[in-house]
Structure formats: C-alpha cells, structure tokens
Structure 1
Amino acid sequence: MAPDYHCAVMQLQTIFLGIAAVCFFPACDKAGFSYENAAGGGNVQYTLIDTLSINMRTVQPDSVASSGTGMALAGGYRDAYFGNITTGSYFRVALPDSREIDDKAVFDSIELVMRPTGYSYGDTLPPQTFRLHQLTQPLELPEEYTVLFTHMRWPYNNTPLGVQQFDIRPTSGERLHLRLADSKGIELFNMLKDDVTDVSTDDLFHEYFKGLYLTGSNNTAVFGFEAKDSSLYLRLHYHVVTHEKEEKYLDFLLSKPGLQYNTVQADRSGTPLAALKPGTGLYTAETNNMAYLQSLTGALVRMDFPSLPSLQELGRYGRIMRAELVLRPVTGTYAREALPPQLNLGLADNFHYIAPGDSLAAGTGTVQHGALSVDKLYPENTVYTYDVTEYCKAMINADSYTYRGLVLCPPPGAYGAQLNRLVLGDGRNSKYRAQLKIYYLLYQ
C-alpha cells in the first residue's frame, strides 16, 4: 500500500512550522546580564559537557523511492552486516523514430546496450552475469502514485530474452552489449518490416512490448548503468545487399525515464539486522552497541537525546553556546566498501518521517553533510562532525509535539540510488563512541 503522499506532505509541513517556532524561543535572561558579553569571574562558568546520553537505533522506513534517479542498478553481493543483496532495474523502450526497412533487408542480431556510470558496490573482479526479461504487464505509474519504490515487483517472463557474462571495468566507460535471442529480434524485425499495427504508434507498441527487467545472476557486485536514451537501449542489427553488403541498425531508446526504477531485496538472515522491521527499529543495545545505515535496503540511523532538558537543572540562567555531534565509523567495517562521503541529518517525528528538504543546516543556512575526516593511522579518529547548536537550543524546550529526533541518511541524490553503507558506534561503544559535545555557559 502506498502512503497518501499529499496528506503526508501537509503533515510534515505542519511539523516543520512547529520546529521553526521552537527555534525562536529566547533563553532565560537575567536583568543586566548579557551572555555574549559575559566576562570571566566567579559567577560565570563555561563548561564542555560531553556525557549526555544518545539513544541510537537502526530504523527501517516503510518504503524507499527509487524511480527517475538516472541510474539503473543490476547485480548483487553478500554483505556480512546487511545480508544477501540483489538488485534489478525496470524500464521501457520506445519505437525508433525512423523505422522503414527495405524489402531486401536481412535480420542479423539484437542486443541490449548499456553504459556503466562508474558506480559499483562489492567485488568487481570476478566475471558478472546479467539477464534481461520481458515484462508481462505494462510498466506504468499506478493510480495515485507519484513515484515507484524498491519493494515493487512487476511480473515478467521467467525465460530470459538474453543471458551473458561480462568482465566489467566500471570506470572505463566501455559499453556492454548483451546479446538477446534471435527469435525476439526476428519477431520485431518482421513486425517493423510489415508495418503491423502494434508498431504503428508508441502507445500500441507499449501494449505489445510492455517493458524490460535487467538483473544479475549469482553476482559479487552491484553495478550502476546510465538510465538515459543515449546509453540504455535495444539495438536491432540488419543488413541490405545491393552492390555490396550495407550494415544498418535501429535503436529502441529508453523512454519515460521517470518510470525507470530499481528494485532491491535484502535477505538479512544471520546478520545483526535480522530482526529489523518498520516501526520502533533496533536499539544499539540489541546490536552490540552499533547502528547500521544503508538507505537503499531500508536501514537508517536515528538518534534521540533524552538528557537535553536536564541541562536546565544546572541553573536558571544557562545557555548553549555551541553544540557538536561527533559520529565514529567502526573500523574494519569499511576496509573494502568506502564510507559515504556525505550524510545529512533530518528532523524526524516519532514515525521517522522527514519533511522533503528538511535537513539540519549550519549557522550559515547551508545543509551539512558531516565534514567526513578520515584518519588512516588512527581509525578511531575518523569522524563525521555536525553543528547541532540550533537544534539543541530548540529541543531543550521541546514538548511531545515539537520534539524531533535526528535521522542520519544520504543526501537526496544518493538516497534512492546507491548502496553505500555505514556502521557506527553508539554512545556506549568503548572505542568508537558517538558524542554530543555541548559548550554551556552558566551564570550563577
């Protein structure tokens, strides 16, 4: 079941306005005292507090949108932390613009042409096998949907149109050519040659040729392919013999790029996330003081700070001058898979909903991405760092309606298109401890 998108947006806009209102609440002021101009003295304390508790957990959103990203994913791999992951891509192709074929033309072959984006995840050295299937139901946007999701499945013919093994160098830019069965090529060739009704318009062609599904077979990596009409298409080869052999082709280009979407399956059996389901999520006490993030398979990290209101108990006249959140990846979990270069913090309600574009900003108003700092000599010093000053100022006075936790997730462009993953230590992790550092000014 798809969520009611318009109602969700209205709800989240209301949530955002509530948080914005909290951000403007002034701190308590004592007559004649200015925090900004406070001088050192016996009645002024400026303290670093870094022992506030952080409730961290891995949560799973109800659904992950993956359509119209411009990248088709195909393949799979085994991950010790996230399980067996398989991906595939659904898409449509259109009739060639010019499709007249000479009566003397002879069919040669048909193939799927695809160009790697350079993105891959897993072990890319072994040969990789891909399959292409024809859909048995037209690929269309369901009624009341605006996007397609990773959990959606479209029925397809179990007998593949083509299966082929490749040695892939994902960053080389070299196109892959997956040869399809001649029977399908001859069928299309004869229909075009005879100008039958099913190939007279794109709409009629879509009713006949309902779409395609590209996936892998026993792969060790996932690969990204450009989902554009110039780099993902069927090419039908034929020739005409007059005085000499003249080779020709027709291209069935990718159409409706907004309908191209990626399907993702994650079998988490035997992993720390085996019990993860939508809802409350898994607290780090259940996962060995570690939290897990891989947005495309539905694993995000949520953080709550229940001790923030207790700062007010230090004294009536206190103020947060600066607050910093430090997150540490667990060494050994990113030896082969690189750390996500950018991660956002979103304001989330109790259902983990985040308003579109509602990412935590720095004091300058720019969205923060974590300022990842990698220390190869001392991995415990590898950190993501965020300025959470304004967030903490707002949440210290929040009530049950205005309180929002923080959800760590990739920026929009990577959220529904990449498998980059992360394992973080929580606030009780002995070596890779997450910390909320608050610089607090207290006037006695």
Structure 2
Amino acid sequence: MNKSIRAKEACKYLVCALLITGAEACDKAGFSYDNIVDNGATQYIVVDSVTMNMNTVFLDSIPTSYQSLALVGNHTDPIFGTVSASSYWRVKAYNGATIPDLASYDSLVMIMRPNKTGMYGDTAAVQDVSVYRVTEKIDTRITNGYLYSYDKFATETTPLGSKQFKIRPSIDTLIRIKLDDVLGADLYAKCKAKSQTVTDQIQFADYLKGLSIQPGANSKLVSSFRGDDSLTMRLYYHQNSGEKLTTTIDFPVYNASLQFNHIDVTRPSGSPLAGLSSTNKTLASTSADNRTFAQPLTNLITRVDMPYLKNISQLHKFFKVMRATLTVRPEKQTYQYPYNLPGKLTLCEINSTNTITDSLISPSTGGVQTGNLVIDYAYNLNTAYTYDITNYCIAQMSAVDANIRGLALIQPRNTGFTRFDRVVLGDRKNKFNNIEIKIYYLQYE
C-alpha cells in the first residue's frame, strides 16, 4: 500500500482511534501532541500546544500623512489611556480670480466635513475644537517624505476661532467655525489686489504657514473629518451693486503629504502599558494579566513568537505539515460600545528588530489574511480572528536562525493609521479568551 493511501486511511480512522484507544502522549521541548496511528507506517498528528510567547510591542514611528483625514479631540479610554489628537496642514494659495471693485468683505470660516465612521468615544459627547495659525514651516523634516504621529509644529497661542458642538455622524455633513476677522480682512485685501503674497504658493506659505485644528479643554471625543480639499478656509464677500450677491473664496488643503495628525497619549496610572516607550519597547503578556494590546495610532501592536516550532520537524526523518491554523481571541468585555474591534487584523511577519517584513498570504485565496472576524455577541467567549499559517510554519521549520520571523497582529494601514479601533488579546493562559494553534502533519517511515 503506498503512502498516500495509508495517509487517507489514517485520516479516515482518526475519530475512531480517538474514541476507542484515546491519544498517546509524546513530548518534545516546547510542545506536546496527540498521536493517532494506523496499522501501517503513516501517523496523522495534531499539535495544539506549541509554546507561544506573546508581547505588546511599541512602534517608534506611525506615519499619519497621505491619509486625507483629519483627527481632532480628546478621549479617555479606561484600558489604553487618554488620547489627544490634532491635525496640521498647509493651505493652498488664492487662484487669482478678479474681485469686483464694489465688493466688500463679510467673514472668514473654517469648513470641516465629518466622516460617518472613525469616531473614538461616545458620539453624544461634546466636541470642543479650536483653529490655530501655524507659525513654523510645515515640512517632512526627513528624507522619506512622511510626517508622523509624533510630529508637531508651533502655532499662535490664541486661536483664530473656536466652537463647542455635538456631532451627529449620520446627519451632520458640515461643521463651520467662525475665524478671526483681522486675518479675514487682510486676506481679502490681498486677494482683491491680486498680491503675489496670496497668489504665489511659495510666498503664500511664508504669509500663512499653515493651519491646525486642536481640541479644547471640554473635548470628550476624537472626531474624524475629511482631510482632502473639502477641509477649507472659506472667505465670504458680497457685491454691493444692485441685489446683494454673496461669493466665496476657498483656501483648501495644499499637498496631501503635508497634512497629518499629531497624537499624544497618556497611559492609565498603574497600567502595565505605562512602561512602554521608545526605550522600553516590549511588554510580555505574562506581565499584563495574560493579555496583549494593539492600537497602532498609539504605537501598539501584538507580537507572537513560537521559539520551539522547529523542534516538531526533528521528531521524525520523514515529515510533512498538512495544515496549520492560528486563532486569536479578543478578551471579553473589552469591545463594548463605544469601543469597536478592528474589522480586519492583518497577520504579518516581523523580525528581531520589530520591523514588519511582509503580510501572510492565504494559501486558498492568495490574498492578505485579515482574520475573518467572527463576533460572539451572546457570551463574548468565541469571538475570534482565524488565520492559515501553514506556509509560515513550513518556512520557519526549515529556516536558519538569521531568517526566523515572529508574527505580528496589526490593523491594515488604511484603518490602523486613521482610526483608534483597538483590541485586547488573550495569551495561552488567559482564563477566558486564549490564543490557539493547531498543526496537522503526517509522519511516516
């Protein structure tokens, strides 16, 4: 009988063998497994207790430019801490259209369009926002062309305008903040005269280096606004001849690479997260109540390492991994309103310096794996992200030490760097929601 037939028969009688004979225990450093044997030379083995070390990792640099999204507000999260978000951008120069001689200045207003999703906190809470004039040139400062969550630029101490309001994400399409008329009148005069100060982009950047929206003391919610050309400073004027005709001049965002979000975070007092920083980048799950954390916008991702994975291949000379799965479970009672689980949680490879090197591809679909989230609304015990790690396990079992990679769990860039969705994951010893691995392989003579 050839090996493939024996393998099929072994799988066929797997359930019977478990029920009748039970499982023989075989031990090897780092894992144990159930061994089901047929009368031939093929063994079908399921490993479900590979040692897994889980850590929360602090990332130094989170790029927040090129997202066309503006975040502003304060929110205190009982697990992740108090977050403050503000946004900066350069302003596009005047297009040079002629203003009639008899026209008169009316007002200057900041126009912001809320996104329907991406809020952090209770949407019924009060939002308190101020608009500031930037006094320092906004540039990337470094060669790779990005601005990061830690970047910030100086502003005037007195805001151009402020407003307190409540956002209704499903209803509100426009937020207006009245701005300083001294700036408005000066802008109007220069536009009417077609001064190069406002028509030339370089000169205009010297005159108005940029704008920033920042939370006020009464802000209780981080709000998400569009950061494209709909985020605009709008000047209103009217013509005095005959019927009053109101006209506008828009000064929108200039250059998406220079519009970015600055994030500050203060971890809860006594929280194990408080010890994480650019000089202390790793927090073991065993030091955090058997939990890890992921919220990229506040620099946190989860790392999983399986240091004894290679030992499985040393058990037998003839060996083949057939399938391997990884299931991670969010801790119950950590994703109730107003906190959402990430709809997608990407599984990536990560090296010894905590640099993400690649995303894991699904063997069946060829796409990046994002967990296929299933939520257990009834009991919160079976909520899970599940991944196929077959190819990863095969590669790591044959890798030399220099090429060994861990696994990272992180939200995709388009949401992870624009939203504060977060997840708390249980490790192997978490009482209710623990991580699980299963490796199915054939061992034969």
Structure 1 counterpart of 2:396: 395
Question: Hey, what does 1:214 align to over in structure 2?
Answer: 213
Looking at structure 1, the residues matched to 203 and 428 of structure 2 have their Cα atoms a distance apart, in angstroms, of: 59
Alignment check: 8 A CA contact 2:78 2:268 kept: no
2:98 pairs with 97, 100, 106, which one?
100
One-letter amino acid of the structure 1 residue matched with residue 315 of structure 2: L
- In the other structure, the counterpart of 1:168 is 167
CA contact under 8 A between 1:96 and 1:253: conserved in structure 2?
no
Partner in structure 2 of residue 75 of structure 1: 73
Shift of 1:182: 1.3
What SS does the corresponding residue of 1:56 show, helix, strand or coil?
strand
Aligned residue for 1:243? 242
Residue 402 of structure 2 aligns to a residue whose secondary structure is: coil
Alignment correspondent of 2:51:
53
The alpha-carbon deviation at position 36 of structure 1 amounts to: 8.8
Distance 1:150 1:198, change over 3 A: same
Counterparts of 1:127 and 1:265, CA distance in 2: 20
Q: Distance in 2 between matches of 1:127 and 1:344?
A: 33
The amino acid that maps onto 2:91 is: V
Tell me the distance in 1 between the aligned counterparts of 2:140 and 2:311.
Answer: 49
Work out the CA distance in 1 between the residues paired with 2:88 and 2:376: 40
**Separation of aligned partners in 2, 1:173 and 1:426:** 41
Match of 1:352 among 351, 354, 358: 354
The percent of aligned pairs where both chains have the same amino acid is 34
Alignment size in residue pairs: 411
Q: 1:252 Cα shift?
A: 0.9
Q: Which residue of 1 aligns with 2:340?
A: 338
Contact 2:126/2:221, CA 8 A, preserved across alignment: no
Question: In 1, are the aligned partners of 2:95 and 2:199 still within 8 Å (CA)?
Answer: no
Contact 1:81–1:272 (Cα < 8 Å) also in 2: no
**Structure 2: runs of 5+ lacking an equivalent:** 11-37
Q: CA RMSD in A?
A: 1.8
The one-letter amino acid of 1:80's match is P
Quick one: distance in 2 between partners of 1:311 and 1:33? 20
Structure 2 match to 1:289: 290
- Post-superposition offset of 1:186: 1.2
Shift in Å at residue 272 of structure 1? 3.0
* TM-score, normalising length: structure 1: 0.89
Shift of 1:143: 4.7
* Counterpart Cα distance in 1 of 2:332 and 2:389: 25
Amino acid at match of 1:167: K
Give, in whole Å, the separation in 2 of the partners of 1:348 and 1:55.
14
Residue 18 of structure 2 is matched in structure 1 by none
Determine the C-alpha separation between the residues in 1 that align with 2:252 and 2:389.
47
Indicate conservation of the 8 Å contact 1:170/1:223, yes or no: no
Q: 1:154 to 1:36 in 2, by over 3 A?
A: farther
CA contact (8 A) 1:67 1:259 kept: yes
Instruction: Using the TM superposition, name which of 87-96 and 299-308 deviates more.
Output: 87-96
Aligned-pair distance for 1:197? 3.6
1:425 to 2:426 alignment: yes
Larger radius of gyration: 2
Q: Which residue of 2 aligns with 1:411?
A: 412
State the match for 2:376 in structure 1. Answer: 375
> Quick one: distance in 1 between partners of 2:423 and 2:5?
39
Give SS of 1:288's match.
coil
Aligned equivalents of 1:254, 1:388: Cα separation in 2: 43
* Superposition deviation, residue 391 in structure 1: 0.3
For residues 398-444 of structure 1, the C-alpha deviation after alignment (integer angstroms, 9 at most, x for no partner) is: 22211000111111211321111000001111211101111122225
Q: What is the TM-score when the length of structure 2 is the normalising length?
A: 0.88
**Structure 1 segments of 4+ aligned residues over 6 angstroms from their partners:** none
Displacement after TM superposition at 1:38 (Å)? 5.2
Shift of 1:265: 0.8
Counterpart contact for 2:50–2:308, Cα < 8 Å:
yes
In the alignment, structure 1 residue 232 sits paired with structure 2 residue 231: yes
Is the Cα–Cα contact under 8 Å of residues 94 and 198 in structure 2 kept in the other structure?
no
Distance of 2:199 and 2:62 partners within structure 1:
37
